[in-house]
Structure 1
Amino acid sequence: MKKKLFVIGFVWPEPKSSAAGSRILQLITQFQNQGYEVTFSSAAKMSYNTFDLNTINVETKPIFLNDSSFDAFVKELDPDAVLFDRFMTEEQYGWRVSEQCPNALRILDTEDFHGLRKAREVALKRNEVVTLEYLQNDTTKREIASIYRCDLSLIISEAEIDILTNQFNIDTSLLYYLPFLLEPISEDDIKYLPTFEARQHFITIGNFLHAPNYDAVLYLKQTIWPLIRQQLPKAELHIYGSYESQKVTQLNKPKEGFFIKGFAEDVNEVMQNAKVCLASLRFGAGLKGKLIDAMQNGTPCVMTSIAAEGMFESKDQLLSEVEVNGFIEDNPEVFAKKAIELYTKAELWQETQQNGFKVLNQRFNKADFEQMFKSTINQLSDNLKSHRENNFIGQLFMHQSMQSTKYMSKWIEAKNK
């Protein structure tokens, strides 16, 4: 009999809209390769960008918030493992899974460390350095509680593993480093990419509902792009992203070479047409999908240290030793200067492009992670009782006196009847 994986999505996957959508599909593929039948549910509404999971043999079923119909459904499904897409879904459904399917392996995919992103956002608004006090925010407390309630949490960035273990003393047995899982770039792939001479203009891309992306676009508009445009008066910046709102569209200024292009149906096409990608993120967490898109399509980048975090250096490397597909700069004047250099110097552009291919193949080749991940899941499943006994803090968070979300959910359900 095949094993069953039940994925509870914060939203339905939209790989064309966000890196999170691609990430969850990568995880589904990993479990399918391990022999799991997969069922996906979400309480969110589907959109025109929603990926058709049935095309990859994944069963789908909508679920509801604060509704005990979920209990009967998950009990009948009887999954061997449950994957929570972000800590918010674990808060809502984790206690129900625990009660109805106590022997199911509970896995949290954090997507990125939301508490870290929140800390950086608040510190940026106050023009202050992120301290431990900022890190210890309410989002962090909720997220770490979720990590303890689960048997394993998938962390996409080594930088976040470091913060969780060193700043918050979380046992490494609860954390598992699993970055983007990609097909390697072949010489044939590279051969057919447009050349330096065939490309033009700058690009940036990102879901506009994601606060760090909107802030990055605003930062480009107000601070960085005028510096670039001053030296390259005919250059254009093309900004792509799903879910553009009026506050985004009003930034469109063709006379300034600043174009809001909206949703990109084919990210590879628009990225290959561009000469340089700009990733001016000032807060955020996790790995940045726009950098992966750029490297896969041979487009060098200028990026902030926030954008580059976890992408290029491993825990055993110094940043000065790392090859980057462009430049990492936080000073806006230097950022603009490096963008102009990449845009105008073919040899430098080609050198950094090659660095990007190396990074993809050396750090994100899915073949390097698949077998170890499979072994970890099997070992956890076989030793689940002892693993949970060693996670006493997790047991504390599962105690009825600590389950405010459970009783709030029950209250909301009773109120709605």
Structure 2
Amino acid sequence: MLHVLVIGQAWPEPRSSAVGGHMMQILESFLARSWRITFASTTEPAEHKADLSALGITELALAGDHASIAHLLTEQAPDLVLFDRFEMEEQFGTIVARHCPNALRVLETSDLQSLREARHQLLRRRLIEGLDPNDFRALFNTSGPELFRQMAPSALAQRELAAIYRCDLSLIISDVETDLLVNGFGVPDYLLHWCPLMLDPAAQTLRPFAEREHIVTIGNFRHAPNWDAVLWMKHNLWPMIRRHLPGAQLHIYGAYASPKALALHNPDEGFHLLGWAEDALQVMSNARLCLAPLRFGAGIKGKLADAMLCGTPSVTTPIGAEAMHGALPWPGAVAGTAEALAKACVRLYSDQAAWQQAQAACAPLLKTRYDRNRHAWALTERIEHSLAHLDEQRLYNFTGAMLRRR
């Protein structure tokens, strides 16, 4: 039985963010193999923290001093150390390598932060230049080489890539990001493992068109792409939709809404800021449509996966849909301008046949891209294979060996 030590940047909050949900899916994959898990973090538990102990996972408060960490590592003697995002590898990677040299070092990236930041900078540049605030097709079509040129000089990308090289295996949630790392930055593919969201099939009985109402969006307000999307909806997109659907209501849910966000609440405009959703899937199941007009970001989007699980058609941008559907049809609409997004919302909200066609696309997409059993098996098999060939893999990761000599 393998012993896994997770060093968490924060305690998992699966009902607050896709990041927390993905971590829980990884932990559940390990538990299915009867691996023993210890989860340690230097942060205080937040309000919506998952009860790991109820799953048989040991929870430890991690002290920040090296003597305490060295004692913990010696006492735990893990076979595998999972770093929850690259900052944890930066902080604890050296001491883990010193005290647990034979432990497999795995990095959960969640998404490429440097890609998200590069896209944010490109968006800011467009807005500063005063370009059309409703047409972002050129931004969304930024090529891989252009993204590489934007990312490569940044300290964030250099830190993130260094952590990937120093680890034995990095979990990449987006196959688009895998392609960027391999073909843009030259990272060897044996250091990477595609690990998307691992989901159960959609419910067999889905609420029909006539029993649903309103448009919903869900997202943690601390996540900059979500806040940007709320502002774009408020000032540009929602007024266009309301002109054609005067009775429609937009319900915006998310953890950690600030007073600044809550101040946007305006029932007269049908614009409702409703804070944290106790049951996000129930909220999504009641809605006729999910709207996610993301102008920048990375990874794959939990809100859109939740929409598929609930059979709720979604309208989003190419950033929102990126790496989520492969060659399969999107269960809703993808567009790069506010006008096209609004038009798609109006059509799907009003046209029952189009809505039903979009709903029917949810289940095949979930099965093909996000099957829990298949991805959980692939993840644990890859880890066991890496452990069995660890010396050979480290020999060929010469760049990682150099970086570990810092």
In the superposition, the TM-score normalised over structure 2's length comes to 0.94
Higher deviation after alignment, 199-208 or 371-380? 371-380
Written as runs of structure 1 = structure 2, the 5 A alignment for 1:251-262 is: 251-262=264-275
Q: Which digits, 9 at most, give the CA deviation of each residue in 1:125-155, with x for residues without a partner?
A: 0016554321112111111000000000010
Contact 2:29 2:377 (8 Å CA) reproduced:
no
Tell me the secondary structure at the aligned position of residue 111 of structure 2: coil
* Equivalent-residue separation in structure 1 for 2:57 and 2:120 (angstroms): 36
Q: State whether structure 2 residue 24 is matched by structure 1 residue 10.
A: no
Gaps of 5+ in 2: 127-138
Higher mean C-alpha displacement, 144-153 vs 34-43: 34-43
The answer to whether the 8 A contact 2:313-2:355 is kept is yes
Q: Is the 8 A contact 1:190 1:298 kept in 2?
A: no
1:356 is displaced (CA, Å) by: 1.2
Deviations 1:185-216 (A, max 9, x none): 3xxx232x221111111000000000110001
Match of 2:394 in 1: 388
* Per-residue deviation, 1:14: 0.4
Partner of 2:61: 62
AA at the equivalent of 1:135: M
Q: Which stretches in structure 1 are left out of the alignment for 5+ residues?
A: 401-417
Quote the offset at 1:35 in angstroms: 2.8
Per the alignment, residue 81 of structure 1 pairs with 80
RMSD: 1.1
1:378 aligns with one of 372, 375, 384: 384
Residue in structure 1 matched with residue 176 of structure 2 by the alignment: 159
Hey, what does 1:100 align to over in structure 2?
Answer: 99
Q: CA deviation digits over 1:147-184, x for unaligned, max 9?
A: 00000001011100010011101000100111111112
- Identify which of 279, 282, 285 aligns with 2:295: 282
CA contact (8 A) 1:161 1:177 kept: yes
Report the CA distance between 1:334 and its aligned residue: 0.6
Q: Render the CA deviation track for 1:99-134: whole Å, top value 9, x for unaligned.
A: 110000000010001110010001100016554321
- From 354, 366, 390, the counterpart of 1:360: 366
Residues 201, 309 of structure 2: 8 Å contact kept: no
C-alpha contact 1:272 1:297 (8 A) present in aligned 2:
yes
* Structure 1 moving runs of 4+ over 6 Å: none
1:235 aligns to 2:248 (yes or no): yes
Q: For 2:64 and 2:238, locate their aligned partners in 1 and report how far apart those are by CA, in whole Å.
A: 43
Name which of 190, 197, 203 aligns with 2:204. Answer: 190
Contact in 1 for aligned 2:85/2:107 (Cα 8 Å): yes
Contact 2:148 2:185 in 1 (8 A): no
Give the 3-state SS of the residue equivalent to 1:68 in structure 2. Answer: helix
Matches within 5 A, 1:8-407: 8-127=7-126, 131-136=147-152, 137-185=154-202, 189-191=203-205, 193-313=206-326, 317=327, 322-400=328-406
TM-score, normalisation: structure 1: 0.91
Identity level (%): 41
Q: CA–CA distance in 2 between the matches of 1:288 and 1:3?
A: 31
Q: Which amino acid aligns with 1:211?
A: A
- Equivalent pairs counted in the alignment come to 388
Shift of 1:66: 4.5
Determine the structure 1 residue equivalent to 2:129. Answer: none
Amino acid at match of 1:70: I
Residues of 2 paired with 1:62 and 1:207: CA distance?
25
Q: What is the identity, as a one-letter code, of the residue corresponding to 2:263?
A: Q
Alpha carbons 1:149, 1:397 under 8 Å: kept: yes
SS in 1 for 2:197: coil
State the AA in 1 paired with 2:274: K
**3-state SS in 1 of match to 2:110:** coil
Instruction: Give the deviation of 1:372 after TM superposition.
Output: 2.8
Q: Distance in 2 between matches of 1:392 and 1:68?
A: 29
For residue 106 of structure 1, give the secondary structure of its aligned residue in structure 2.
Answer: strand
The answer to whether the 8 A contact 2:178-2:194 is kept is: yes
Instruction: Look up the equivalent residue of 1:389 and give its one-letter code.
Output: L
